[in-house]
Each structure stands twice: as structure tokens, then as C-alpha cells.
Amino acid sequence: MSQPVHRTDVAIVGAGPVGLFAIFECGMLGLRCHVVDALDSVGGQCVALYPDKPIYDIPAWPKIEAAELIERLESQAAPFAPAYHLGQRVEGLARSADGSAWRLETSAGTTVEATAVIIAAGVGAFGPNRPPLAGIEAYEGSGVFYYVKRKEDFRGKRVVIAGGGDSALDWAIALAGIADSVAVVHRRAKFRGAPDSVARLHALAEAGTIELVTPYQLAALDGTEGLLSTVVVRTLEDEERRLPADALLPFFGLSMNLGPILDWGLNLDRHHIAVDPASCATNRPGLYAIGDIATYPGKLKLILSGFSEAALAAHAIYARLNPDTPLHWEHSTTKGVQGFAE
């Protein structure tokens, strides 16, 4: 028996922080939303990769953990009763039979017809860039971890972190007071992270809380029956060190895969979707892109930029759906939100 077709104003592809805020922005304009995400819960990378990681650039929040940010965004969207289709990804996108809407088909057989589509798919399907170490598979999930979901999982452990970017620095700093020891391995003495994080890392190293192992690279892993005991590192001159370790956290970035999005006829720029910065509209009428997947001159890959883009796309969609009805916009302070207490 075939599943029913869900009809709505806006279909949002991606339930990360920017996709969730797009629900709110559309809801404030009276637009109904259905949301599709390949993960089995909302939150995108914030929940899948770093729920305990603090975020410092959300307005009015000096610091908020990623998981809490998602909880609050989900609560903010809740009054508008979005329909979530989780654990399934959009496999097909085409015009509906009468040409008035976009028809989305998912991997679970769900069909959604929407007058407009907002693509908030972040980096698309993502996975870690694995270091080329012989036998690493035997330790994955027991001694080698590509994501940190709970800091407490590393309490009292000897942790080796590999990498020189923001993720490596952030987790080295975050685990410094929890792990028994933290060693940071990088191929050179200069790190690529935010200046403040680099300064904090060096301060912890000078205090003896963190060990900086530079200029070394990962060379091998030792252990028994899937339990890691040693991370072997070497310099380009073949100088070798053996670092005692219960856990290795290699942070070498994510591999990105746009999947079916590549076949949707969109203008792409280095695996990002080119949009009009004034409306976040793509080259295909009725399709919009926001967040990390969208690009335009001067684009900043920040969550707060994605929040702004969500508002721009929602207003552009309202104008598209209601060409003869001018929008008499009211600020939320005067309009209020149904379902929220005064």
C-alpha cells in the first residue's frame, strides 16, 4: 500500500541548527514546514559530532554546549508544529505533475510536495578522514574515536589527540581537566586553530597539563584484542616516540558528500550551492540554500550567518507564495509567538 503524499508550504532538507531555525522563521510568516534529515535525530553535526562542545559565538550566550543549543532551537520551532521525517535522506527531487510544487522522494519511501524547498544540509553526508594506519579498524570504537560525544567517556584516560585545527585544539583544552593525560601530536609546531585557542593550548602546555608532541606524525598503533596501549609517532627524520594511550582522537577533518544534491541541476561552487545573498535563492526557482552548504561572495561559515540566511529565505518564500499579499511585518516583540508564555 503506497504512503500518502505530504503537502506543505516549505520542505526543509536538513535538521541541523540552521534548518531548525528556518522552521521558526517560516512559522512566524505562517508557512508550514516538513523537515527531512538522514540522521535519526535533529541537530546535525552539533549532536552527531560534538554535543558536549561549547559554542561561544551565539548571541546572548557567552557559552552554550551544542546539545543544549539544539534543544532550545527545537523548543523554539515547536509552536509551529513541524513534521519531521528523520532517518531518511532525500533521494529524488522533481517538479510535481502540475508543476506547482517540488516533489521530494526519500530513502524511506516518504513523498513530500512543497511549494518551496530550503536546503540546509550542512556539508551533506559526512564522515571522518581516517589516518592511514595499518590495523586501525581493530581499535575503532574502543581505542580510536573520530568524534567526542561525552567528555566523561575519557575521564582518567591517557588521551592522544592528532591534528592542528580547531577540533584538535578545542578537545585538547576541554579534556585537559578530565583525562589523566593529554598529548597533542602535530606535524609542525604551528597550529591552525583560533588564536585564543592556540594561546590557551600553549598556556596549558607550559603548565604541564598538556604535552605538545611536535613535529611528529602518526606512524602506528599498538595494543591487544582491540584495546589500545601505545600510539607510535615519527618525525620526517624517522625519530620515533611511543606515547602511552588508552584513546586516540584523530581530527583530520570531514569527508563531504553531497550525494543526490549533485543531480538537482544547481549551480555549484566547489561542492557548495551558489545562492543570491539577498534571498538565498538558487538558480532553480523555488529552491533555496542556507547554512554551510550555501556560498556567495563574502560568505562566513558561522551558525549565526546561517540563522540570518534562514530569515532571508523565509521572507523570499513568503513573497513567492503570496505575490499579491504584501507582508506587513511585525517584530516578534509585538507579534508574539503562539504557544509561548507571555
pTM of the model: 0.74
User: For residue 14, what are the contacts with CB-CB under 8 A and spacing of at least 6?
Assistant: 35, 36, 37, 44, 119, 120, 121, 122, 291, 293
Same fold, 5-126+255-335 and 131-252: yes
- Overall average pLDDT of the 26-42 stretch: 93
To the question of domain 5-126+255-335 being in CATH 3.30.420.40, the answer is: no
Measured CA distances, 86 to 38, 90, 184 (Å): 6, 11, 37
- Overall average pLDDT of the 10-18 stretch: 95
- Overall average pLDDT of the 140-165 stretch: 92
Q: 338 falls in which pLDDT band (50, 70, 90)?
A: low
- Overall average pLDDT of the 94-105 stretch: 90
* Separation of alpha carbons 179 and 54, rounded Å: 17
What is the reported pLDDT for 96?
84
Which stretch, 106-110, 143-147, 305-309, 336-340, has highest mean pLDDT? 305-309
Whether residue 15 has pLDDT greater than 90: yes
Of all helices (H) and strands (E), which one includes residue 257?
strand 254-257
What is the reported pLDDT for 342?
44
Q: Cell for 261?
A: 544534491
Q: Name the CATH code of domain 131-252 (choices 3.40.50.1820, 1.10.357.10, 3.50.50.60, 3.40.228.10).
A: 3.50.50.60
Of all helices (H) and strands (E), which one includes residue 307?
helix 303-321
Q: 22 falls in which pLDDT band (50, 70, 90)?
A: very high
What is the reported pLDDT for 341?
47
- Overall average pLDDT of the 125-139 stretch: 85
Is the Cβ–Cβ distance between 40 and 92 less than 8 Å? no
* CA torsion angle 204 206 207 211 (round to 10): 70
Q: 271-313: per-residue pLDDT in tens?
A: 899 999 999 999 999 999 999 999 999 999 999 999 999 999 9
What is the reported pLDDT for 82?
97
Q: 194-247: per-residue pLDDT in tens?
A: 898 899 999 999 999 999 999 999 999 999 988 999 999 999 999 999 999 999
What is the reported pLDDT for 188?
93
What is the reported pLDDT for 333?
59
What is the reported pLDDT for 2?
63
Task: Report which residue type is found at 249.
Answer: L
Domain ranges of the chain: 5-126+255-335, 131-252
> Which tops the pLDDT comparison, 266 or 327?
266
Q: Cell for 59?
A: 548571541
What is the reported pLDDT for 18?
97
Whether residue 340 has pLDDT greater than 80: no
